[in-house]
């Protein structure tokens, strides 16, 4: 199995996000910002005016995605990778006052999430929905505390 450890998420806000893992000795390669040629990560140059923020999860990350709602700026869902059925999806937001991500909600998820997606609703005219995949496709309704209520299992 994989060794336990923490995961550090480095986000080049608002354009890209990359994850690197610690403890298990594995690292994901940095991604390149669209057209600018700037690699995201802790040592990336800040030539495009973006700032880099980090978030440390207590487990390895496997899936993540940005929310696209105007009323939820810099909100990100991250899914754990544990080799068991008990996994977690956390919703984190950038606290612009402190310059760091903070957990605003979480919910239990059976099996690691292989993909997470928020409903693409910039104008906030639809319910705040999130879809996750693992053993099934699940649709979640976002609550005011950023926890999720299972709405459909497909």
pLDDT, tens digit (0-9, with 9 covering 90-100), for 60-102: 999 999 998 999 889 999 999 999 999 999 999 999 899 899 9
Burial 1-27 (b: 16+ CB within 10 A, else e): eeeebebbbbbbbebbbbbbbeeeeee
* Inter-residue contact 34 to 18 (CB < 8 Å): no
- Whether residue 105 has pLDDT greater than 50: yes
pLDDT, tens digit (0-9, with 9 covering 90-100), for 10-41: 666 654 344 433 333 333 333 333 333 222 33
For tokens 């544990």, name the residue.
82
* 25 phi/psi in degrees, rounded to 5: 80, 15
């Amino acid at each position: 199995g994989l060794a336990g450890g923490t995961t550090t998420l480095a986000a080049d806000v608002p354009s890209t996000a990359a994850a690197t893992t610690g403890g298990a000795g594995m690292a994901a390669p940095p991604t390149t910002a669209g057209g600018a040629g700037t690699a995201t990560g802790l040592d990336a140059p800040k030539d495009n005016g973006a700032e880099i923020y980090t978030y440390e999860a207590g487990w390895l990350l496997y899936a993540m995605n940005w929310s696209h709602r105007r009323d939820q700026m810099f909100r990100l869902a991250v899914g754990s990778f544990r080799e068991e059925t008990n996994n977690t999806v956390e919703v984190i937001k950038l606290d612009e006052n402190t310059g760091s991500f903070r957990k605003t909600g979480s919910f239990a998820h059976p099996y690691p999430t292989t993909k997470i997606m928020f409903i693409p609703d910039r104008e906030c005219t639809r319910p705040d929905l999130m879809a996750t995949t693992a053993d099934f496709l699940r649709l979640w309704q976002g609550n005011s505390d950023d926890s999720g209520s299972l709405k459909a299992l497909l």
